[in-house]
Amino acid sequence: MSPFNLQTCCRPNILALEPYRCARDDYKDDGTNILLDANENAYGPPITSSSSDETTTSLDSGPEINLLTLHRYPDPHQSQLKSLLCNLRNTHVHTPLTLTPANLFVGVGSDEAIDALLRAFCVPGRDSILVCPPTYGMYSVSAQVNDVSLVKVPLLPAPGFGLDVPGILSALSSDGGGDSSSSRIKLVYLCSPGNPTGSLLSKQDLQRILEHPTWNGVVVLDEAYVDFAPEGASLAEWVLEWPNLVVMQTLSKAFGLAGIRLGAAFTSEPIARVLNSLKAPYNVNNLTSVIAEYALGERGLGRMRENRRKLVEQRDRLLAELPKIDGVGRLRGGEASNFLLYEMLNKEGKPDNGVALKVYEKLAETKGVVVRFRGKEHGCEGCLRITVGTDEEVSRLLAALERTLAEVRG
């Protein structure tokens, strides 16, 4: 019999790992549910497809995907894709300088960039990252996979959910005893607009962190939802002013392309070279790059912006209608994303995790509406995170939520 023992063979931090979970771990899509849990774009991608023959697929008069070339490896540098991403973010709102493909890393969603930064900058078992809960769960999952510890400085209380800048600066100042060569906190992961908060972080607060006089590390700003924020909110081009700033983005949200798994990290040329050196040689496949390039072209951008307009319209509708439902409490986050964070109240009018959890379960199990329970997150007592859907989906949500709250609260 083999002497193999998983418990002694596998790394302890991996055995202790709690994987990232989503509502669909509990409630699968059976074709009748409306899915307002994962912050996807309910209007879908900015493309339509038609099959011309068995070897090619046409993207609405755009470039053809030649299926007969799939035996060839993709472009390892993705120069055209990077150029289009730069064109999108070169607004010159935050700097007169201009982004180029040399400032970019592209990968399999933002998650690849999150992990690549940890592998590049953190020594396993020694270094740390700083996170500001409530925030995106993959920062901590990736840290544990890489045997990197967490330093937590919670966001300021709702509804603002702003950065506790003095707390962050204090943590960075005490790191390494003020000696920049001894810093153990190598990365600060910030989310703007926040997930699950939906709040946009202050540029001035971010600058105060970047200006820390002794800390030797990298600030990572996750802008997955920034296209739902006011015009000019993205700080992608600001990486040209700060050598230790990384701004991550994705085509999963406003572009409605979660299924192609395409993320980008804008940063200084030296950091971009490091990330591109350690990645797998062909990490972005041909199908992903062709679809992404089409979506970032003139026709694709036009459709993305129209879908975004419709989602913002439905977001405004939810902001107007949700407070009218008996049992819905305060909006606890911001309005800069394609989701909203709302309290569920008990009979005494207080936010209640028990009520919120029951509402979450009943919505999915009896009404076919899947949202996300966030009550266990820091500062989110009694909260559900609701993704903005189509007009029809929002109507169904509002009716189902009103009925469910009445049932749960008696």
48-75 burial code (b ≥16 CB/10 A, e <16):
eeeeeeeeebbbeebeebeeeeeeeebe
> Average of pLDDT values for 261-287?
91
Domain range annotation of the chain: 10-46+301-409, 56-300
Task: Please state which of the ranges 193-197, 206-210, 236-240, 286-290 shows the lowest mean pLDDT.
Answer: 286-290
Gap between the Cα atoms of 49 and 60, Å rounded: 6
> With 90 as the cut, is the pLDDT of residue 319 above it?
yes
Q: If you average pLDDT over each of 276-280, 282-286, 342-346, which comes out highest?
A: 342-346
Task: Please state which of the ranges 37-41, 95-99, 237-241 shows the lowest mean pLDDT.
Answer: 37-41
370: three-class secondary structure by DSSP? strand
The DSSP bridge pattern shows strands 185-191 and 128-131 to be parallel
> With 80 as the cut, is the pLDDT of residue 72 above it?
no
> With 50 as the cut, is the pLDDT of residue 113 above it?
yes
Helices assigned H by DSSP within 368-409: 391-409
Gap between the Cα atoms of 393 and 318, Å rounded: 11
Q: Amino acid identity of 288?
A: T
The sheet with strand 64-66 has its strands ordered as 49-51, 56-59, 64-66
> With 50 as the cut, is the pLDDT of residue 52 above it?
no
Residues 6 or more apart whose Cβ sits within 8 Å of residue 9: none
- CATH numeric code, 10-46+301-409: 3.90.1150.10
> Average of pLDDT values for 93-117?
95
Is-contact 384 359, C-beta < 8 A? yes
CATH of 56-300, one of 3.40.1790.10, 3.40.50.970, 3.40.50.2000, 3.40.640.10: 3.40.640.10
Task: Please state which of the ranges 64-73, 187-196, 317-326 shows the lowest mean pLDDT.
Answer: 64-73
Would 10-46+301-409 and 56-300 be classified into the same CATH topology?
no
> Average of pLDDT values for 168-193?
83
- CA max distance for the chain: 68
Report angle CA 168, 174, 177 to the nearest 5 degrees.
Answer: 150
pLDDT in tens, 117-129: 998 888 899 899 9
| String of DSSP letters for 242-299 | -TTEEEEEESSSTT--GGG--EEEEE-HHHHHHHHHHS-TT-S-HHHHHHHHHHTSHH
Tokens read off for 9: 């063979």
Percent of the chain with pLDDT over 90: 72
Q: What does the pLDDT read at residue 4?
A: 47
